[in-house]
């Protein structure tokens, strides 16, 4: 089910950044994927995947309550989430990162939500 959330190319990109993070390198990656709930206001801009388990993603998390923050989430958990109308988490097929993750964080914190 988690393969529906990210493509093979996105998984490769996320793991590459995850390996750099695990090695302690200071990086400011571009988010690789945007996931969202179509019937709620949650958004996940993911930039890394833990190479140790291949399931724990790191990025900007916006649960729609006005407090977006960096954090981790398991892709397997996201695959089981449904919104109030029972619609699952989906991948934004048209998402193209326009700025590094730190800029998305700054803008989201200024606005109280992820704006694009």
- 64-111 pLDDT per residue, tens: 899 999 999 999 999 999 888 999 999 999 999 999 999 999 999 999
Give the pTM: 0.92
**Cα(112)–Cα(92) distance, rounded to whole angstroms?**
20
pLDDT at position 115, please? 82
Residue 112 structure tokens: 């109280």
Sheet holding 33-36, edge to edge: 69-74, 56-62, 43-49, 33-36, 90-91
- 16-59 pLDDT per residue, tens: 999 999 999 999 999 999 999 999 889 999 999 999 999 999 99
């Amino acid at each position: 089910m988690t393969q529906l959330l990210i493509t093979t190319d996105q998984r490769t990109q996320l793991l590459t950044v995850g390996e750099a993070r695990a090695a302690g390198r200071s990086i400011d990656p571009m988010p690789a994927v945007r996931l969202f709930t179509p019937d709620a206001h949650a958004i996940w801009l993911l930039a890394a995947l833990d190479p140790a388990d291949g399931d724990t993603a790191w990025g900007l998390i916006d649960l729609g309550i006005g407090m977006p923050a960096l954090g981790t989430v398991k892709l397997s958990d996201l695959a089981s989430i449904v919104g109030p109308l029972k619609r699952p988490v989906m991948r934004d097929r048209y998402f193209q990162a326009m700025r590094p993750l730190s800029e998305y964080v700054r803008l989201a914190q200024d606005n109280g939500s992820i704006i694009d």
